[in-house]
Chains A and B, each alone.
Chain A
Amino acid sequence: MISISLNNERRECDANLALAELLPLWGFECEKIAIAINGDFIPRSQYGDLRLNAGDQVDVLAPVQGG
């Protein structure tokens, strides 16, 4: 297990799982979110292959009202 930051909250996760496998465990649906890791955009096409590293900062964003 490794420790990462998910939307600025500490989480423990299995380093062997791909991002696409972690997201449902965290309660997210891939098609309704966009992701950045350590400030860099991660295209949806990479979720299946990408594995997190300890200390990664993951931002999971969804649509909101804007001006």
Chain B
Amino acid sequence: MKQNQDNLTLYGQTFHSRLLIGSALYPSPAIMREAITASGSEIITVSLRRQSPSEAGGEGFWQQLKSLNKTLLPNTAGCHSVKEAVTLAQMSRELFETDWLKLEVVGDDYNLQPDPLGTVEAAEQLIKLGFKVFPYCTDDLVICQRLRDVGCQVLMPWGSPIGTGRGLMNPYNLQTIRERIPELPLIVDAGIGKPSHAVQAMELGYDGILLNTAVAQAGDPVLMARAFRDAVTAGRQATLAGAMPERQTASPSTPTLGMPFWHQQ
């Protein structure tokens, strides 16, 4: 398959990049802009928070976002209940003028683990309200199947808890989800710390990566954004190419026929 034909389709929209990136935690708005541009990402996650009038309703950030001309994916970060998530989703839809939603329902504050039952319930309600839900969930096969069954057309299991940078805690679980749900785009969301983690996820057959902290908190966010751009591409191309099978024993790559210094006794 030619690289330029290998697009990612999410809820009917087609993208060239398979890297989704967050807009938080950058050292400055200018570095955020530069890093997002360097990442090649076409989808940016955003949020809503209480603002005082003195902050002019988030006007500065809003202008920065619009100038990037990317597809926005609002989140419900910090919501601890179905009702909070549904309300915040409705507010996001009105303000960001999109029915796309990264659904987050926090189940535990220690590791920000998604509440699996609350996430499924919220997803079901939101889909009935016309949202296109991107659920952030744990790497649990059955929860992923339930999210698919209520109408999610994309699934986003975690690699590890948000902001930890620990990579893929449980590749077996992620691989099982991939094998059992071949029909939906799967995106590893959260826990990615290094480009090698992104390559690993893509090599498992995942369709994309969503990250924020790994770029925003890198020593050089712009350079790291490029590294992740290339890593996601490398992992994707490796999957398309098909890796060689692993072997238990060594097998010489240089021909043995014609080997010098060997003489029949």
Contact = CB atoms under 8 A, between A and B. Distances in A.
Interface of A: 7-8, 26-29, 32-36, 39-41, 43-44, 59-67
A33 B52 CA distance: 11
B151 to A, nearest CB: 21
Contact of B91 (A61, A64, A66): A61
Contacts of A26: 53
Interface in B113-144: none
A55 to B, nearest CB: 18
A67 B212 contact: yes
Contacts, number: 105
B48 A34 contact: yes
Given A39-B87, A41-B87, A61-B95, A66 B51 contact: no
The residue among A8, A43, A64 with the most chain B CB atoms within 10 A of its own CB is: A64
Given A34-B91, A35-B91, A39-B87, A64 B46 contact: yes
Contact of B25 (A7, A36, A41, A67): A67
A59 B78 CA distance: 15
A27 B162 CA distance: 35
B59 A32 contact: yes
A61 B51 contact: yes
A64 B48 contact: yes
A31 B49 CA distance: 15
Contacts of B22: 65-67
A39 B84 CA distance: 7
B46 A28 contact: no
